[in-house]
Structure 1
């Protein structure tokens, strides 16, 4: 089939590689406009756009998919289908109708669970043990279209969102190409999503990433892992924000009040509503990441608490 791909962040690259290696013809990539990134705030191409540039594939960067100029160019390209992975913009009905087979979205959850922008983060945050990926027909509703196919993925006890998303991006790429193959052959059939089991996964904000030390240790652990690598879990120490890497709940450890720090010979503990947690890597404001023990010794932490 003749394809135009829509996607933006690095998680799209496995799908792009899989499509490039398939028998389909990728004629263009639609991605979000170039944007400032990094400390220097230099304007850069999205990872999907950069991938296309390297291969001489046309890149379209509409501010919004409703733009007449974008839709006119999409019609000129005459795509049979537009596969989508993490594009990052709502697609209006008139644009959805341009490709012969519409827009087909790879979403990183088992729909109708975790519809929205952050399905992997919410699966980790809420303690799910299994998640997956779904390929569905994009429509005007938020991740509500009929589903062509799914796969499942175990969530390991130490998985961060980054770990899980990396695995799903690879396995999901294979699923996406298999669905595209099925659409081309006429074998693929999309089934409506069930009415039960709907849950929403809005974007995780910086405020959501603040650790709540009054929660149980398992909830602290989940929040930190859910926010890794972005936006990054954080707490407040001596009036400044400090980023936290994954922590480890310590069963049968000493009793430590919520938020209270306890520096031991080989570990740094923080109290929660239940067991304490052992800090892993930390990043104080304005400094590089370091081990919690090195930080505590350098900061001369005594009987202090995180806010």
Structure 2
């Protein structure tokens, strides 16, 4: 089949590579326009745009996929199908109707669970043991279309959202290729999503990523892992923001009040609403990441001093 892939972030690059290696023809990609990226916030192309240009593909970057010029070019490309992986914009009906096999979305959850922008983060935050990826026919509703196929993935005890999404990007890319193969062969019929088991996964904001030390240790641990690498969990220390990398529960030690900090031979411990947690890597405001022990050696917390 002749394809036009829509995708933007790094997680979509694995699917582009898999499609380029498949029996299908990738005629072009659609991606979000250049935007400020990285610590320097310089204008840069999306990871999908960079990979596509390296492969010699045409790159379309409409501000909105409803733009007449984009719709005209999409129709001229005459794709049989448009696979979608984390594109980042709603596709209007006028574009959905162009390819004869429609738009096939790769979504990183087992639909109808976790419809929305942050399915992997929300699955970790909820403590799910198993998640996965689904391919479905894109329609105007939010991740509501009928499903072509799924692949499951075990959630490991210390997974961050980056870890889990990295694995799903690879297994999901294989699922996407298999789905397109099945569509071309006429072997796949999409199955409507059930009405039960629906949950939603709105994007995690920076404010969502602030640690509440009065929450149980398990909740704190899940939040930090769900927010790693983005948007990045954080707390405050002496009035300044302190970013937190993955930490680990430390049951069995001395009780500490929520947010109370203690640095010693067993590491840097912080109290929660249940038992303490041990900090791993931290990033003080305006500085690079460092081990929590190195940070505490410089910060010299007073007895009873608290984070947050």
TM-score by length of 1: 0.99
Residue 238 of structure 1 corresponds to 238
Residue 107 of structure 1 corresponds to 107
Q: 1:238-263: per-residue Cα shift (whole Å, max 9, x none)?
A: 00000001111112121001010011
1:302 Cα offset (Å): 1.8
Residue 201 of structure 2 corresponds to 201
1:29 Cα offset (Å): 0.3
Residue 43 of structure 2 corresponds to 43
Tell me, yes or no, if the aligned pair for 1:133 and 1:152 is still in contact at 8 Å.
yes
Residue 251 of structure 1 corresponds to 251
Structure 2 SS opposite 1:173: helix
Listed as ranges, the gaps of 5+ residues in structure 1 are: none
1:40 Cα offset (Å): 3.1
Mapping for residues 120-159 of structure 1, pairs under 5 Å:
120-159=120-159
Q: 1:101-153: per-residue Cα shift (whole Å, max 9, x none)?
A: 11000000000000000000000011001000000000000000000000110
C-alpha RMSD over aligned residues: 0.7
Could you say if the C-alpha distance between residues 110 and 248 of structure 1 is closer, same or farther in structure 2, counting changes exceeding 3 Å? same
Aligned residues: 307
Bigger CA drift: 168-177 or 29-38? Answer: 29-38
Q: Distance in 2 between matches of 1:2 and 1:272?
A: 54
Q: Distance in 2 between matches of 1:94 and 1:9?
A: 24
Q: Distance in 1 between matches of 2:268 and 2:129?
A: 28
1:266 Cα offset (Å): 3.5
Structure 1 SS opposite 2:169: helix
Q: Distance in 2 between matches of 1:37 and 1:247?
A: 27
TM-score by length of 2: 0.99
Residue 165 of structure 1 corresponds to 165
Mapping for residues 59-138 of structure 1, pairs under 5 Å:
59-138=59-138
Tell me, yes or no, if the aligned pair for 1:266 and 1:293 is still in contact at 8 Å.
no
Q: 1:174-224: per-residue Cα shift (whole Å, max 9, x none)?
A: 000000000000001100000000000000000000001000000000000
1:38 Cα offset (Å): 2.5
Residue 222 of structure 1 corresponds to 222
